[in-house]
Amino acid sequence: MVLGAGIGGLLAARVLSEHYGEVVVVDRDELPDGPEHRRFVPQSHHAHGLLGSGRQVMVSLFPGLSAELDAAGAITSGSGDPAMGDRSIFLVRNGTTIRIPAWWTGGFCASRVLIEHSIRERVRAIPNVTLRDRTAAVGLLTSGTRRRVTGVRTEDGEVGADLVVDASGRNSALPEWLERIGYRPPEESVVHSDVRYASLVTEPDPSFDPEWLIILGAQATSGSSVGGVVLRIENGLLHMSFGTTGQGTPIPSDIGELRAFADRMTAPVTAEALRHSTPLGPVRKYHVRRNVRRYYDRMSEMPAGLVALGDAASASNPIYGQGMSVAALSASRLGRLLAEEGGARRPGFERRAARAIAATSVEAWRLALGEDLRYGCRTQGVRTPWTARFDAGYRNRLERAAALDPEVASAFNDVLNLHRPLSSLGSPRVVRRVLRPLRDRNPGPLSATIAAVLGAA
């Protein structure tokens, strides 16, 4: 049984279908028939990024997925979309715009609802998988000794299961359920980021032809940071999210306030995208107070028959766009472990699964934690490795070097896409290239706009 029919739950169901005669996915929401928003997934109204690592897992589990998304209007390698001619990410830090080339590496750009819909339809077609919507899980069933989870209690009754996978997201009730059956809940690391979003989807003007695929902007202020992200998604649309981290800056509520916010507080290139496009709906708001990593891998005692993955285990700051990819990596690693062990019946499987899943999310957590600390977020129970304390000065030089040095750009993109650990950016080879004077580099031909931006930097 899988709890949650989001990206993580659907991908978990796909890998479990190869090892179990029947897989049941339960979700309290009503699951739509098309690429539509769901009542209990308010975050779907906000910009979501799919990193290269997540994309690799999805296309390996669902061959032909890129072609399906292309047919639905997404930007893919086969779409012939002009946006693919540049493939750049514009990274904006405190007013300085830096172009990081070759960000896009054969993946696809689409909204979360379209990606989730495409995967949901694939999972629905698997003969031994059943999706039960409008079914809320409210607790665990256990054996008489409470040493094994034997199913889930729902509002409609009880459902037995050999393995329960919690993919219910960052608001998972599993720690509370474990306490109810006599177990100490897992240790937690908490980052109080207090992220507030305001988002909308727009249609760009026909004459608007930017040089970017993705914009990420951030600006530090006293006690908080503000920023914005603009993503190209399906059917030529733009998905924009503007937000704040920390206290003190109110988030806009309507398009007029949003335009003023973008002009005043975010990168000019981000504000330009908003000015040159037409909103297709209202401004949507969302608030995430804290980000949590739950250490199920460190529990002294845990019941058999239970695994947590995705945001239910590790939910970092959503502004970094790692959630879908971490969920995909977690599900994939669970599938590999099941294949290696021939199922989940060997003693200690749940602990090995918890450790394997934790390993898939640790780099995303470290990367996000480093940025959160950079902007002064409060932490609780956080063990901070040196990679999370990456000196801000080195990070700034790294980003600027990536704009001019293909080798640094490749190393940086590998880390951002969760292909390689953050520590790889501290290797002697990368450090030498980062610390090399910018004037000694040969960036090759640049557009006049980009040359001017880099010259100013």
Q: What is the pLDDT of residues 288-329, one digit of tens each?
A: 889 999 999 999 999 999 999 999 999 998 888 899 999 999
pLDDT for position 446: 37
pLDDT for position 438: 59
Number of H helices, E strands in the chain: 13, 22
**Distance (Å, rounded) from C-alpha 71 to C-alpha 74?**
7
Radius of gyration, CA atoms only, the chain: 22
Q: At 41, phi and psi to the nearest 5? A: -130, 65
**Distance (Å, rounded) from C-alpha 262 to C-alpha 252?**
10
> What's the distance, CA 184 to chain centroid?
29
The CATH architecture assigned to 75-109+194-288 reads 2-Layer Sandwich (3.30)
pLDDT for position 77: 63
Q: Are strands 149-154 and 378-380 parallel, antiparallel or unpaired?
A: unpaired
Query: Which residues, including other chains, have CB under 8 Å from residue 217's CB and lie 6 or more apart?
Result: 90, 91, 92, 93, 227, 228, 229, 266, 267, 269, 270
Q: Are strands 137-142 and 149-154 parallel, antiparallel or unpaired?
A: antiparallel
Contact 64, 58 (CB under 8 A): no
**Distance (Å, rounded) from C-alpha 258 to C-alpha 242?**
8
Question: Looking at the domain 2-42+52-66+111-189+291-364, which fold is it?
Answer: FAD/NAD(P)-binding domain (3.50.50)
**Distance (Å, rounded) from C-alpha 457 to C-alpha 442?**
16
Residue type (1 letter), 195? V
3-state secondary structure of 141: strand
pTM: 0.90
Which residue spans of the chain are classified as CATH 3.30.9.40?
A: 75-109+194-288
Which residue spans of the chain are classified as CATH 3.50.50.60?
A: 2-42+52-66+111-189+291-364
Element (H, E) at 289: none
Exposed, middle or buried by CB within 10 Å (0-12, 13-18, 19+), for 19? middle
Contact 140, 185 (CB under 8 A): no
Element (H, E) at 124: helix 112-124
pLDDT for position 195: 86
**Residues of the chain falling short of pLDDT 50:** 85, 442-457
